[in-house]
Structures are given as structure tokens and as C-alpha cells.
Amino acid sequence: MPHDAARDDPGARQGPAPWVVKALGEEPSFVPGDRVRIGARDPIGHYRVPRYVRGKLAVVEAVIGPAAIDNEEEAYGRTAGSRRHYYRVGIPLRDLWPGYAGPADDALRIEVFETWLEAAERPTPDEDTTHDRS
């Protein structure tokens, strides 16, 4: 078996060890630029996602680190769960308020926990907010 100097000398390797398997949620599920849809559910009890953004398409602008406990679960004292990431997402204001007359690139920025986000497909012409609708 060949000698692995990086395994013997942690200072010799760059980045995480290749034999280490990351835990669920340790790596972000999304990266800046990803299109996501915010979940459209109505949970009972404590939740942190405003109703007016649920079901809306958004673009991930930043991954907020490090991974954290879901604060909706934490509100009930459940703090031993897996850690996930928060994401700062941008939602075009025209998608939130019909008739919005401001610039087409105006957006609401909001931080949303990973469990509320799902990957979004390419927009349909009705959903595409990258062009001016005036």
C-alpha cells in the first residue's frame, strides 16, 4: 500500500480529508444564483416564514453560515436536531405586490431556513421576472 503523507501530516493537505463523510446538512444544498421556491405550507404553531413569501420563486443571494439548528424546532426546545443553513434570497417586488411600479430589479431580501426551500425549475414566461413587463 502506498504511503499517504497527507494522512500522516494534517498540515500537508488542503481542504477536508477525502475519507471524511460529511453529515446531512453540513454542506449547503444551494449556492448563490440558484433559483428556489419557498414552501407554500401552513404549519400549526411557531414558524418564521411570512405568509406573503410562501410559494414564491426566489434567487439565492448568499449562504448564511455556519449551519444552525432550525429555529422553528428550537422554539419548542428541540435543539438536538441536524443543522442546516439559512439562505438570503431575493424575491422580485413585482411578484409580491401586483402593480408594483418601481424598477424591475427591486427585490425583497429575506433569510429563509433550508427546510423551507426547494429547487425551482426554469421559469415559465408568466413567472419570468428578468424582463420588464411594462
Residue 35: per-residue pLDDT: 97
pLDDT tens-digit readout, 22-47 = 666 678 999 999 999 999 988 877 78
Domain that holds residue 42: 29-119
Residue 10 within a domain: no
- The confidence score (pLDDT) of residue 15 equals 57
Whole-structure pTM value: 0.72
Burial 6-27 (b: 16+ CB within 10 A, else e): eeeeeeeeeeeeeeeeeeebee
φ/ψ (deg, to 5) at 48: -120, 5
Over residues 43-58, mean pLDDT: 89
12 within some domain? no
In the prediction, which pLDDT does 87 show? 97
* Cell numbers found for residue 35: 433559483
CATH number at residue 100: 2.30.30.50
Q: How far apart are CA 43 and CA 31, in angstroms?
A: 26
Q: Indicate the Cα dihedral angle 41, 44, 49, 54, nearest 10°.
A: 20
- The whole-number pLDDT of residue 84 equals 87
Instruction: Please write the tens of the pLDDT for every residue from 90-110.
Output: 999 999 999 999 999 999 999
DSSP string, 92-122: EHHHHSTT--S-TT-EEEEEEEGGGEEE-PP
Coil, helix or strand at residue 93: helix
Structural domain tally of the chain?
1
Mean pLDDT, range 71-84, rounded to an integer = 77
As given in the structure block, the three cell numbers for residue 84 are 442546516
